[in-house]
Amino acid sequence: MAKLFSFGFWNTIARFILRNRLLILIAVIGATVFLGSQWKHMQFSFTEANLLPDDHPINIEYNKFLDKFGEEGNLIVIATNDSTLFIPKKFEAWNALTKKLRTYSEVESTIGVDNLKRLEKFSDPNRFELVDAAPKVLNADSLKNYETTIFNKLPFYEGLVYSKKTNTVQTALYLDKAIINKKARKDFILKELIPIIEEFEESQDINVYVSGMPYIRTLNSQNIIDEIGLFVGGALFVTSLIFFLFFRSFRATLISMITVLIGVMWAFGFLGLLRYEITVLTAIIPPLIIVIGIPNCIFLINKYQQEIKNHGNKAKSLQRVITKIGNATLMTNVTTASGFATFILTDSTLLKEFGVVASINILAIFLLSLLIIPILYSYLPMPKEKHLEHLNKRWVEGWVNWIENIVRHKRIMIYIVSIILLVTSIIGIYTIKLSGSLLEDMPKEASFFKDIEFFQDEFGGVMPLEILIDTKRKNGVLKAATLKRMDQLQELLVDVPELSKPLSVVSLVKYTKQAYYNGNPKYYQLPTSQERNFILPYTKNSSANGNILSTYVDSTGQYARMTTFMKDIGTEKMERIEEALWPQINKIFPEDRYDVTFTGRALIFQKGTTYLVNNLVLSLSLAILLIAVFMAWMFRSARMIFVSLVPNLLPLLVTAGMMGFLGIPIKPSTILVFSIAFGISVDDTIHFLAKYRQELKANNWRIKKSVYAALKETGVSMFYTSIVLFFGFSIFMISNFGGTKALGGLVSATLLFAMLSNLILLPALLLSLEKVIANKEVMREPSLRIIAEEEDMEDVENEKSTS
C-alpha cells in the first residue's frame, strides 16, 4: 500500500474531481467572481520603484532630505526655442498659456517670462524688493529689450527660466506636493496639461517641449497600463494560434483559452486583494500566466488524447490524465513557482511583491488547469479521429529522430560545442555593464522621450540630483565661510558635463549683490566682507527673499540644499563621477565640520539597481540550490544534481554572454531573465529524468535503450511546450520599454537553448556517465515518483474494483 500511496492519492483526487464536477465549477466561478471584485483595489504606481529597503542608509538620507525640504520631484517644465516668441502676438499667447495653467489647483506656483521678478534696491527704508521684469506695454521694442534683459542681465535665472544655447525659454510649474504620488497628478497631466499644450502648438504654430519627473512618471505609468492589454491580447493570440496549429482542434484551443483567461482574471484579482501596485514588473504577471499556463494545457490535453487513442474509454482517460499527469504537472509548477518565490527572500519591496504574486498565480494556474480541463472534457463528446492526427505527425517524429541521431553518434561534438559555448559566454560575461538609468527603458520613439533629449541638451538634464549640506550648527548656512565653500562646490559641479548648473542659496546671495549694484550683471558674485556690511541692512528690511530662501535653506538655517539636474547616465558612470568628486568635496567641506550627502529619487534608483543585482544574484543562487536539493530528494541521488543542473546552467551562461556581446546591460528588467528562465527550463529536466528512470526499470536497467526511449517519449512534449514558451515570451518584444523588450527576447532565447540542452546535452551526459549515475544503487526507488507506471495504475484500479 505504501508503494501505491502517491498514485492512490492522485486516484482519489481524480475521483473527487470527476464526481463533483458541478460543485467544483461553481466554486471556480465563485472564486473568479470574488477575485474579480478585487479589481477595484488595483493601483498603478505613480512613481518610479524604490528598489532599496526602507532602512537602507541611502533611503534614510533621502527621508531626512524630505523632512527638511519636502518632495523634490514636483517640477514640470514647458519650453520653446521658437525665434518668434518675443513678437507681441506670440508672447501674449505664451503668457495666456502659463496664466491658464496657473489657475489649476494642482499647480502651486509658476516661474516664467510672463511673471519673472527682478530684485531691485530701494531706499527709505533701505530694502530689496521683487518687481515685475516683464514690460507692461507689449510692443516690438519693449519685448526686444526684455529678451536682451533675460539672456544677458539676469544670470540668476539661467538654467531655471532660460538657456543660452539656442535662446530657449521655459516656464517652471511647481505642482502641489500633496498630489505628486497620487492619481490627481495623473489626471491633471493627461486630461488637462497635455490637451492644453497640444491645442496651443496647433493654434500658434510653436513647438513646445515638456518634461520634469512628474510628467515623465505619468506618461511612463500610462505606457505600462496600455501595454498590459497589449501583452495579454498578444499572448492569447500567439499561444492560441500555436496551440491550434499543434492540435488542429477548436475545442481544445477554446478550453485552453478559457483556462488561462480565468488565470489572468485571478492574477489581477490577487494584485487587488493584496493591495499591490502595478509596476513595470507586476504588469508582466498576467501575460506570464498565459505563457506558463498553456504548457499545462498541452500536457493534460495531449495525455487525454493519447489515452483516448489507446483504449477509447473517456472516463478512464480522464481519470488517468489526472492520476498520471497531475503529479508531474504539480512538480514542474512547484519548481517554477519556487524560482519566483526566491524573490520574496530579498529586501526589496518591489521584488517581494513580484515574487509573492507570481508564485501564487503559477500554483493557481496549475490548479485551474487540473480542474477545468478534465471537467469540461467530461461534458463533451470524445475527440474525433481528426483531432488525434497530430499525435502521428511525421515531421515532429523526424525532428526527434534527428536529435536522437546526434546524441547517438556525435556525443564528442556535443561536448566540444558545449565547451566552446561556455568559454565564449564567459568572455562575453566580462563585458556586461551595469545600468541604473531611469530613462533607458523608456520608449525611445515616444514624443516625451524626445522632449527629454531636448532638455538634456539645453539645460544639462532632467533628473534632479540633490545635495544636502549639514553645517552642524544653527544658522550655519548663511555664514560667509559656508557660502564660500558652497560656491566652490557649485564651480566644481559646473565642470561636470553630465550635470546642469546648480541652484542654491549661493545664487540668491549673488543676486542680492547684483541688485545692490543696480542690477549690473558683472556683480553677480558673492559679496566681500565689507560689501556684506553694506548689503545687510537691505536684506534685513526685505521680505522679497523669504520664499526663495526657504526653498534652499531649512527653517533652522542649519541645512542647505543644492539642486542640480543630471543627464541620463548609468550607474557605472555616476559612480565614477562620485568617486572623482568626493575627495574634492571633502577638501572643500571638512568632515569634522560638515556632512555632505548626495540624494534624490534618480540617485536612489541608480543605487537601487546595484543593490537589486546583488539581491537577484542571491535569489538565483537560492533557486538553483533549492531545485538542486529537490532533485536530490526526488531521485535520491546526489550525483543526479550535476546531471540535472549542467543542461540548465549552460543556457543561462550563454544568455549572459550574449548580453555582453550585444551590449545589453544588467538592469532590474534583464536580471529577471535568469530566474524566470531557470525556473521554467528545469521543468523539462524533471520530465525527462522522470521518464528516463521509469524506462530504466521497464527495460531492466539497459541504459542506452532507456535514454532513447525517454527522448522519444518526452521530446515531442518538450518541443511543443518550448515553442509555445518561445513565442509566448517573444510577445514582450513588442513592448515600447527597452527592458521589457530585452526580457522577452532573452527569456525566449534562453528557453530555446534550454530545450536543446535538455534534449541533446542531458541525454549525452547520461550515456557518458552511465557507470556512475545510471545503476540500481544510484537510481534506487525515488522519494517521489513523478510519472505513474502502468503496473502502479493497474494495482490502483484493481484495488478500487475489489474495495
555-567 pLDDT, tens digit each: 888 999 998 888 8
Q: Are residues 207 and 256 in the same domain?
A: no
625 contact partners, CB below 8 Å, separation of at least 6: none
22-26, 483-487, 552-556, range with the lowest pLDDT: 552-556
Question: Could you give the number of structural domains in the chain?
Answer: 3
Given a cut of 90, whether residue 550 has pLDDT beyond it is no
Q: Which residue has better confidence, 9 or 747?
A: 747
Q: Are residues 386 and 525 in the same domain?
A: no
What distance in Å separates the CA atoms of residue 293 and residue 297, rounded to the nearest whole number?
Answer: 7
Given a cut of 50, whether residue 490 has pLDDT beyond it is yes
| pLDDT for 389 | 64
Does 445 map to a domain? no
Q: What is the mean pLDDT of residues 20-47?
A: 87
> What confidence tens digit (pLDDT) does each residue in 175-234 have?
887 887 777 888 888 888 999 999 999 998 889 999 888 888 788 777 777 777 777 888
Does 535 map to a domain? yes
| pLDDT for 28 | 93
Burial of 727 (0-12, 13-18, 19+ CB in 10 A): middle
Q: Are residues 467 and 509 in the same domain?
A: yes
Does 451 map to a domain? no
430-434, 598-602, 779-783, range with the lowest pLDDT: 779-783
pLDDT band for position 707 (cuts 50, 70, 90)? confident
Given a cut of 70, whether residue 4 has pLDDT beyond it is no
Residue 645 belongs to domain with CATH number: 1.20.1640.10
Q: What is the mean pLDDT of residues 269-287?
A: 83
pLDDT band for position 145 (cuts 50, 70, 90)? very high
Q: Are residues 681 and 789 in the same domain?
A: yes
Q: Which residue has better confidence, 391 or 648?
A: 648
Mean pLDDT of all residues belonging to the chain:
81
Sequence letter at residue 115? N
SS3 labels along 389-408: HHHHCHHHHHHHHHHHHHHH
pLDDT band for position 792 (cuts 50, 70, 90)? very low
What distance in Å separates the CA atoms of residue 677 and residue 616, rounded to the nearest whole number?
Answer: 13
Q: What is the mean pLDDT of residues 73-81?
A: 86
Q: Are residues 632 and 551 in the same domain?
A: no
Other Cβ atoms closer than 10 A to 543: 10
pLDDT band for position 427 (cuts 50, 70, 90)? very high
Cβ-contact 274, 304 below 8 angstroms: no
Does 63 map to a domain? no
| pLDDT for 589 | 93
pLDDT band for position 710 (cuts 50, 70, 90)? confident
**Where does a domain end: 211, 241, 272?**
211
Sheet bearing 595-599, strands edge to edge: 559-566, 463-470, 595-599
| pLDDT for 5 | 41
Kindly state the helix (H) or strand (E) to which residue 173 belongs, with its residue range: strand 168-175
Does 176 map to a domain? yes
SS3 labels along 480-538: HHHHHHHHHHHHHHHCCCCECCCECHHHHHHHHHHHHCCCCHHHCCCCCHHHHHHHHHH
Q: What is the mean pLDDT of residues 654-681?
A: 80
What distance in Å separates the CA atoms of residue 489 and residue 491, rounded to the nearest whole number?
Answer: 5
| pLDDT for 803 | 42
| pLDDT for 25 | 92
| pLDDT for 265 | 92
What distance in Å separates the CA atoms of residue 328 and residue 311, rounded to the nearest whole number?
Answer: 22
| pLDDT for 266 | 94
Q: What is the mean pLDDT of residues 72-88?
A: 86
Pseudo-torsion of CA 354, 616, 618, 725, nearest 10°?
A: 70
Pseudo-torsion of CA 368, 374, 378, 383, nearest 10°?
A: 120
Q: Are residues 682 and 730 in the same domain?
A: yes
Residue 523 belongs to domain with CATH number: 3.30.70
Cβ-contact 108, 177 below 8 angstroms: yes
| pLDDT for 469 | 92
Q: Are residues 505 and 609 in the same domain?
A: no
| pLDDT for 721 | 79
Q: What is the mean pLDDT of residues 302-325?
A: 80
Given a cut of 80, whether residue 103 has pLDDT beyond it is yes
Does 17 map to a domain? yes
Given a cut of 50, whether residue 554 has pLDDT beyond it is yes
Does 340 map to a domain? yes
Q: Are residues 387 and 497 in the same domain?
A: no
pLDDT band for position 783 (cuts 50, 70, 90)? very low
| pLDDT for 778 | 46
Q: Are residues 691 and 592 in the same domain?
A: no
Cell of 514: 547684483
What distance in Å separates the CA atoms of residue 488 and residue 481, rounded to the nearest whole number?
Answer: 11
| pLDDT for 802 | 39
pLDDT band for position 35 (cuts 50, 70, 90)? very high
- Percentage above 90 pLDDT, the chain: 16
| pLDDT for 777 | 43
Place of cell 485552453: 256
| pLDDT for 795 | 46
**Where does a domain end: 176, 211, 246?**
211
Q: Are residues 560 and 703 in the same domain?
A: no
Does 223 map to a domain? yes
How far is C-alpha 625 from the geometric centre of its chain's CA atoms?
Answer: 25
Cell of 521: 550683471
CB-based contacts of 625-629 (< 8 A; 24+ apart in sequence) = 626/338, 626/342, 627/335, 627/338, 627/339, 627/678, 627/679, 627/682
Other Cβ atoms closer than 10 A to 430: 8
Which parts of 731-789 fold into alpha helices (H)?
738-756, 762-768, 770-773
Pairing of strands 168-175, 277-278: unpaired
Q: Are residues 322 and 393 in the same domain?
A: yes
Q: Are residues 629 and 576 in the same domain?
A: no
What distance in Å separates the CA atoms of residue 66 and residue 175, rounded to the nearest whole number?
Answer: 16
Domain residues for the domain of 624 are 13-47+219-430+605-802
What distance in Å separates the CA atoms of residue 526 and residue 511, rounded to the nearest whole number?
Answer: 8
Cell of 17: 474531481
Given a cut of 70, whether residue 386 has pLDDT beyond it is no
Given a cut of 50, whether residue 738 has pLDDT beyond it is yes
Cβ-contact 787, 441 below 8 angstroms: no
| pLDDT for 784 | 46
**Where does a domain end: 165, 181, 211?**
211
